[in-house]
Structure 1
Amino acid sequence: MKNDSIRLQPALPGEEAAFNKTVSRKKFLSALGIGSLGIAAIASCNKDDDGMGNRVPPGSIDLGKGDTGILNYAYALEQLEAAFYTKVAQSPYSGITAAETALLTDIRDHEVAHREFFKKALGAAAIPALNVNFSGIDFSKRDAVLATAKAFEDLGVSAYNGAGALIDDKNYLLLAGKIVSVEARHAAYIRDLISNGSFADNTIIDANGMDQAKTPADVLMIAQSFLTSKLWGGNLPKS
């Protein structure tokens, strides 16, 4: 079995405090427990490495393999969400209320914190900053913004749910569980902004009370429509 490893770099002095200041209302990173994880490294193993050396399509960004690839996969999604909510904060839709502004700003701060954590964790193994394509979104209209936010949050929850079985390192699995629970809170709030009481309806929760889970291939196909950067997950584990 081939092994890749990445070192989770410890936070620089004052870095976590700076994040907490940015997300002052929720003290998000403190609650997440990043500083207490004490992870020195994630041993990453490509469960589907067949020795054939999958080739990256020209002009595409290879997410990598094993846990490193999954970490980059999550980092890519967090980049997309952070960019979207940053745009929402910069260009508020018509009729936005003070309460909506405050909570959408919190969500932005959470997504930025997620993005920066993954970037720091990956270090030299991180994929580059992605170029987004939001040309199809009318940020001046509440319905358009909230519909896109709903799509992103539901996608994020299903992505983390689907990636859980692909993770080798228990510390990374713990982290993913902490993040997906936050993404689910976002999804519930956005859904209720659109239609009160729809936070956990049968479009996302099945008869067993389970949320959706999507494979990286399915998630990347959807996410790609909002990116000009081309992502390639051909080396990600599949089982």
Structure 2
Amino acid sequence: MAAGCSKDKDYVGPTDPIVPGEDKVNLGSGDTGLLNFAYALEQLEAAFYTKVVESPWSGINATEKEYLIDIQLHEIAHRELLRNVLGDGKIGNLAFDFSKVNFADRSSVLEAAKEMEDIGVAAYNGVAPLLKSKDFLTVAAKIVSVEARHAAYIRETIKPNDFTAGVVGSNGQEQPLKPADVLSRVKKYITTEINASNLPTA
């Protein structure tokens, strides 16, 4: 687990980026299924930011590039942490399609990043009440706090003072999303068929 938390700039996961391979995956049930759901999202984010860093848009400034590399490394660390925690219960590697993102265009990249980060935070908040294991809940809580920082940075980069617009309710809390809603929203990026029918709902 500790290895998966590394943020060293030289850190490279054992399969970084993950090589697509599965046509279908079943997330499973219970806490393992919920962590596999989170693992699928971290695979997506790690793959996305790896592509962003490998093909930065024209005119990207040094600060933006540095922060995007930081986010990439965080996502790789999250992916590897969940991979290690899940062990033999983990799903396989997912396949992705980022053809709807123009990686040469700053706006296209940042809007896609905003969408993924906002969905990611809402996803963890939706999963938290369903987890039975205190240890798994701790892992999810540590990850979502970092994901929220990513979301805030991306939003501020797009438009100053917009870091909570549309995602924080009148009660001052983030709005959660159920796994089915999350998977529906990220389906355009994930070509692997994901079976989430056995995930707990309450």
Settle same-fold status: TM greater than 0.5: yes
Match of 1:21 in 2: 8
1:1-239 to 2 correspondence within 5 Å?
Answer: 15=3, 19-22=6-9, 60-201=24-165, 203-239=166-202
CA distance in 2, matches of 1:209, 1:165: 18
CA distance in 1, matches of 2:182, 2:4: 30
Contact 2:4–2:80 (Cα < 8 Å) also in 1: no
Match of 1:47 in 2: none
**Runs of 5+ consecutive residues of structure 1 not aligned to the other structure:** 1-9, 25-58
Counting aligned pairs with the same residue, the percent is 48
Q: Could you say what secondary structure the match of 1:225 adopts?
A: coil
Opposite residue 175 of structure 1, the aligned amino acid is V
Cα distance change, pair 103–76 in 1 and its aligned pair in 2 (3 A): same
Q: Deviations over 1:123-182 (max 9, x none)?
A: 111111100010111000000000000000000000000001110001111111111110
Q: Could you say which structure has the greater relative contact order, defined with CA pairs below 8 angstroms and 6 or more residues apart?
A: 2
CA distance in 1, matches of 2:201, 2:7: 35
Superposition TM-score, scaled by structure 1 size: 0.77
Superposition TM-score, scaled by structure 2 size: 0.90
CA distance in 1, matches of 2:109, 2:66: 15
- The higher radius of gyration belongs to 1
Q: Could you say what secondary structure the match of 1:226 adopts?
A: coil
**Runs of 5+ consecutive residues of structure 2 not aligned to the other structure:** 12-22
Cα distance change, pair 211–175 in 1 and its aligned pair in 2 (3 A): same
Q: How far off is 1:20 after superposition? A: 4.1
Cα distance change, pair 147–20 in 1 and its aligned pair in 2 (3 A): closer
Cα distance change, pair 174–228 in 1 and its aligned pair in 2 (3 A): same
RMSD: 1.6
How many residue pairs match? The answer is 191
Q: Deviations over 1:14-66 (max 9, x none)?
A: x469x343478xxxxxxxxxxxxxxxxxxxxxxxxxxxxxxxxxx63110000
Q: How far off is 1:94 after superposition? A: 1.6
Contact 1:162–1:216 (Cα < 8 Å) also in 2: yes
Cα distance change, pair 152–179 in 1 and its aligned pair in 2 (3 A): same
CA distance in 1, matches of 2:155, 2:10: 22
Opposite residue 238 of structure 1, the aligned amino acid is T
CA distance in 1, matches of 2:49, 2:79: 12
Contact 2:7–2:74 (Cα < 8 Å) also in 1: no
Contact 2:117–2:151 (Cα < 8 Å) also in 1: yes
Q: How far off is 1:119 after superposition? A: 1.0
Q: Which runs of 4+ in 1 moved over 3 A?
A: none
Q: Deviations over 1:88-112 (max 9, x none)?
A: 0000012110000000000000000
CA distance in 2, matches of 1:137, 1:104: 16
